[in-house]
Amino acid sequence: MNAQEILQKLKPTGEWSEMKGSFIWGGRNVSISVDPDEATLEDALALATRLLENFEDFVRRSKDELLKECFAMYNDDWRREGDPVLTAEEFLANFHLTAINILGDKSVDFFYNEGGMFGNHCMIPQIFDGENFDGVMMYG
């Protein structure tokens, strides 16, 4: 995956300075949105470049955050009666990355489809400092 090729294909949405596009990763389409918000477009694109150049690491760490924040919650509270307790590997196999939103020069959201484990909510590991994951938001 070439970060520059992906970023060069981003198109303005017509809303402020936001740009959107997509790329294939793991055989699936992943949407990407870059919105400078209160930062410059150059700074937001610099974050996007760093993220895409280190994509495998960011995906691994986003899944680590899902495991840390949601694994016990699924097995203890969300698992339907009669369904087996999942191992960490089985749990993570249900998550599929669908989108990445970059907001400004520090905020990144990784959007995951969770395979129905949490009532078909979107699970979103989040970065607020440009580097470290800090929790998972459930949406939808």
Query: What ranges do the domains of the chain cover?
Result: 3-139
Residue 17: the pLDDT is: 85
**Which residue, chain included where needed, has tokens 């955050």?**
65
Q: How many CB atoms lie within 10 A of CB 99?
A: 18
Q: Which residues contact 126 (CB under 8 A, 6 or more apart)?
A: 107, 108, 109, 110, 133, 134, 135, 136, 137
What lies within 8 Å, CB to CB, of 120 at 6+ separation is 114, 140
Q: Tokens 């990763």 identify what position?
A: 25
Q: What is the pLDDT of residue 7?
A: 93
Binned average pLDDT, 10 residues per bin, the chain of 140 residues: 91 88 96 96 96 97 98 95 95 97 98 95 97 96
pLDDT of 25: 94
Count of beta carbons in the 10 Å neighbourhood of residue 102: 26
